[in-house]
Each structure stands twice: as C-alpha cells, then as structure tokens.
Chain A
Amino acid sequence: MKADDRVVLSRFTLEVVTALVTLAAGAVVMGGAVEYAIGWDETGPQPGYFPFRVGLVIALASLGVLAQAFVTHRGTGEAFVSRERLRRVAAFLLPVVGFVFCVVFLGLYVATALYLFAVMLGQGGYRWPFAAVVSLGVTGFFFVLFEWWFKVPLVKGPAEALLGIH
C-alpha cells in the first residue's frame, strides 16, 4: 500500500461522529423548543410542540444509526477517505472558504477576481498574465450580467466604494 492510499478516517469513525453530531442537533432542537411551551392549551398544540417532538425523533433515530454503525461498520476497515483523497478535497475546499471570507469583507467582485486568479495560478499552473486576464474577464462578465442586465445588486466592498460604483 502506498503512503498516499493510507486511510486517514475510517467509515466507522465517521458514522459514529456523524450520529453523535445529529444526536447533539436533536438535543439542541429540543432545547430550543422548551423555550416555548411544548404541550397543549385551548387553541391546540403550543409553539414548541412540533419542534420538541422533531428533536426527540432526531435524537432517537441518531441512536439507531449509532447502533447500526457498531453492527455493520465496526472493524470492517472500510475507508471514509484516504490521505490522497482528503488532500484533493482540502485543496478545493480551503480556497472556497477563503473566497467566502473575501466576499464578506471585500465584496463579491474583488473576491471573485482574487479567488479565480489564485486557483488558476496555484492549481492550474497558468502564467500570471493569462490568469489575470481570465479572472478579470470573468469578474467583468458577472458585473455586467448582474448589476446591469439583471439589476441584482451583489455584495460590495471598499473597492467598489473607492471606484464610486456603489
């Protein structure tokens, strides 16, 4: 087995973790529901009635998934993700997270140009002039399409304010 094929996460581990997360989600939903009455009054079920039971069923079904994980996936050695695959997912996901950060602070258009430029340079192996032309071109296309044609204003940041196209 090559080092790259090593399993970093087994299916069993992730089944258990996911079941615990949904179990916690069920508990959170129940917790949120009891802020309001979860029983009855003369007009019928109170606001918390439905969410409380939804949370309860999530929690119970999560326990079922947990039990199933121990029965069907324990000790099978089945992989959730290998090192090489995890690397590929991370290489895609991390720039996306960076992009969303940039959108929030710099506005969508600046973020788009930066994101596309960075990915083309870092992962596509393009030379920077080509990457710059493509990323600016795509950004310009989106600007014309949404701001002018569809008249849908998107997130703006300091750059747009500077250019006075707010």
Chain B
Amino acid sequence: MENISSLMHGFGVALTTYHVALMMAGVLLGILVGVLPGLGAPNGVTLLLPLTFSMEPVSAIILLTSMYWGALFGGSTTSILFNIPGEPSSVATTFDGHPMAKNGQATEALTYAFLSAGTGALVGVAVITALSGWVAQFALKFSPPEYFAVYFLAFASFVGLGGASPFKTVVSIMLGFAFAAVGMDTVSGSLRLTYGLNELIGGISFLVAVIGLFGIGELLLTMEEGLKFDGVRARVSPRKVFETCLDMPRHWVALLRSSAIGVWMGITPGGPTAASFMSYGLARRFSRNRASFGRGEPEGVVSPETADHAAGSSAILPMLALGIPGSATAAVMMGGLMIWGLAPGPMLFVEQKDFVWGLIASMYLGNVVAVVLVLATVPLFAAILRIPFAIIGPVIIVVCAIGAYTVANSTFDLWLMLVFGIVGYVFKKLDYPIAPLVLAMVLGDKAEDAFRQSLIMSRGSLSVFWSNGLVATITALAIVLLLWPAGSALIQRARPQRVRAPEAVV
C-alpha cells in the first residue's frame, strides 16, 4: 500500500505541463532515432545526455526514459514497414510484421505491435511499482562484499546466459573494465593507464564509447549490407486501428507469456533483444497455427513486441534499486544519474523519493503517450526514411560527432569515437557481445571500489565473499553461471556417442 501512495505522489510530480511536454518531446525524438538506421536507443539517450546536465534530475530522467520508449516504438515501425530493424531488439518483429505489411495489413501489424508493446511496458512498470520498494529494502542490507558479488553475478550471467562464446564475452567485459580504469584512480589519485597522454587523464567516457560502438559501428554494418528502403506505403486508417484494438484480447495468452519472459530478461541483465527472440521462439513452438509463422501471423508480432518492451521497462528496476542496469540503454541512463549527482542504489528510494516515484509514474504516462504519438506519426516518420541516404547518412554522422564532442569539449574524443566505431563493427561481425563492454565501463569504478573496500574490511582475505549467507549465495550463483558454458560443453562432449550411433545405422 505504501507503494501506491508513493506512486500517487509520483503522478503529482510527473503530471505537470512541463513534464508532459518533455515526455512528448522525448518520445518524438526517440521515434526519430529509432527509425533512423545506426541511431538506436543507447546512443540516442547518449546524444541527449549532455543537454540534460543543467536540468533537474527528475525532468532529465523523464526526457531520457521517454526517448527510450519512443526509440523502442520507432524500431518496430521500420521493422514492419521496411523490413529494416531500427533496433537490434526489433529484429524478431520483422519475421511476421513485414510479411503482414506486404499482405496489405500494415495498419493491423503496426497496431498489434504498438498495443502489445504498450501492454508489455505497462506490465514491466507495474512489476517495478510492486517490487521496487521491496528490492530497495533488501538492498539496504548490502555492504561492499554484497555489492561486489551482485556486480559479479551480473557479469557472470552475461557469460553464462549470453549465448556468445564465453571467451569473447569475457574479453568484452574485461576491456570495459580496462577502459573504466583509465585516468585518475578514485582511491589513490594515481594516473593509471594513461601512458603519458594528457587526453587520457580524465578517463575514457563511456558516452563516447557508446556513440562509437553502437552508432558508427551500426552504420558501418548497415552500409555493408547495402541499404535498400523499399517500404510498404503506410496509411493508418482509424477504423482498422479500432478493429485491431478489439481483437487484442484474443491474444491474452501470448501477452501474458511474453510479458513474463520480458520482465524476467529485463531484471536479470538478459536485455530486450534476447527477450524478444526468446518470446518469438516460444510463441511459435506453442502456437496452434505454427505453419503461418513467418508469413504474417499476428501472434508473431505480438510476442516479440510485448517481451521487448516489458524487458526495456523492467530493466529500470535493477538500475534504480541496485545500481545495476539491465540493458545498454539503462547503463547509459545510470551513467547520467551519476553525472547529475545521484547515487543509483537503494538509498535513492530513501533520499530521492520525488525522483524515483516521479520517474515510475512518468513511465506509465510516457508509454501511453508513446502509443498515441507513434500511431499518429507513422506516415511522417515513414516519409523521413524516404530521404536518400546520401543526405541522412552524413547528418547522422554529424549528430554523432556533436554528441561525442559535447561530452568533454575535446576533439580527441572524436578520434576515440572513430576507433570505437571500427571496433564495434568488427566485434559485431565476429559475435563479440557489446552490451557487457558498456556495462563494465559504467560499473567499472564502482565494482573496483566495492572490491577494494571488501578486501580492506577483511584485511585482504577473499573469504569475505563467503562471510555470510547472503553474499555466499550470490557469489555461488555467479560462479555457477560463470562455469555454465564449460559445464554444458562437457555434457555435450559426453553425449555425442549416443547421438551419433543412430546416424551410423541409417
């Protein structure tokens, strides 16, 4: 009940004209970056971040989260109309969304996508509302060893559940930690890993890394694929939208299942992309009309969209309550929190009630605003995609450069952005996961501090990570996840004899 009254208080904070205007601006900008190839939610939020430094934290976070919702919606629009996923997390939407649009059901596909996305997001926010107070209470018991164990768990789950080569995931995470260590050491004041370069004293900003890795890297990939926009003309007729709305309750099983998957993947750092693929896969497996999947099955649009947005919104919960972002975009926002002078973590719920509950309330409102705005502006944004790439491509690059420069007013960052761009391109092509690298850059200093403080507490003994039931459980879970790939590889190796035998008979 306490949560409900806090939430009502939050609505009071969020429902001002200024904040609603920010929401609408954020959603529109978000749809724009979601629609444009190469600009996605993580770097959209990154580019906007320097402009929020002078704002109130609560206004700033409302603007940024609204942009996040908008970007998620924008990504679905291009998936359906152009078969080009504007966001990695909307790849699964192309499987059935684009076929539907080609069959002349573009309006239905878009409406299904937006409504299920909105539903998923609202479920995610409802879960945050219900759990955040409790998680924060729980997290207040944490001391440095618990924090380090939770960070360890977050990174171990990338290794264990990420699906990429575990070695590549480890390389990616550790490179992130190495980048985070560059510059002034927060404890001793030593200048680490600068090799005498003055530009590196301030450290490498994760914002520049995100713009390079996600922005430039993604554009290079898009260019390599050879960009072809042959979209389906979109005319959104209100009557069809209304009919599709009435049809939505029929898909309640898919909605529930996908929301559950999304919320789970968002809270554990699986991320929206993994959630949408998993949800699509499960929907196809359990569907009665499995054969029509891939040819324009509404459930094939509903499932990935619901999970995508449920994951996107619930990723905010661990960010607020524990200081561990559940997605790359949440990592950027958490970096923003620290820049605004707020310490993410359980104390936020005690000291910054306005901020936390204003944000949660704005998530309800922002998603409703986003559904309405995105439906209303489909033709506009579809038209933007018809601007030739020879114009829009350089404009995107200029925006990225402006974003990288404004982080620290340093031209050195522009070169860094280029290097990160090439790294991002190569890493993506070789299946190195990029989100863990960003997460490690954001969490690097905090993780190192937690580690050092723990060892100071225990006078250098690693046994501090087993010193009580709580920290021991988290550490044990993390080690299990870390060793998961090795374990499953061993099982696979033990199995082939049994699997191969029948083949030999045939």
Contacts and interface: CB of A to CB of B under 8 A. Distances in A.
B92 to A, nearest CB: 24
Interface in B151-178: 165-168, 170-171, 174-175, 177-178
Interface of B: 50-51, 165-168, 170-171, 174-175, 177-178, 181, 185, 187-188, 190, 192-195, 216, 219-220, 223-224, 226, 388, 390-391, 393-395, 397-398, 401-402, 405-406, 409, 411, 414-415, 417-418, 421-422, 425-427, 429-430, 432, 448, 451-453, 455-456, 460
A154 B226 CA distance: 32
Contact of B175 (A22, A47, A48, A154): A22
**Majority secondary structure, B binding face:** helix
B224 A61 contact: no
26 contacts: A14-B430, A25-B178, A26-B174, A29-B193, A32-B195, A33-B193, A45-B455, A47-B185, A50-B451, A51-B181, A51-B193, A61-B170, A62-B171, A65-B171, A81-B224, A88-B226, A92-B393, A93-B422, A97-B418, A103-B405, A103-B414, A104-B414, A112-B398, A138-B398, A154-B405, A155-B405
A72 to B, nearest CB: 9
Question: Which interface class (under 10, 10 to 19, 20 to 34, 35 or more) fits A?
Answer: 35 or more
A51 B456 CA distance: 18
A124 B190 contact: no
**Majority secondary structure, A binding face:** helix
B495 to A, nearest CB: 18
Given A47-B192, A142-B402, A116 B395 contact: yes
Contact of B406 (A81, A89, A152): A152
Interface string A96-139: 11011001100010001001100110011110000000100010
A29 to B, nearest CB: 5
A51 B178 contact: yes
A57 B170 contact: yes
Contacts of B430: 11, 14-15, 18, 80
Contacts of B460: 40, 44-45
A134 B93 CA distance: 34
B426 to A, nearest CB: 6
Given A54-B181, A119-B390, A152-B51, A47 B187 contact: yes
Contact of B193 (A32, A62, A126): A32
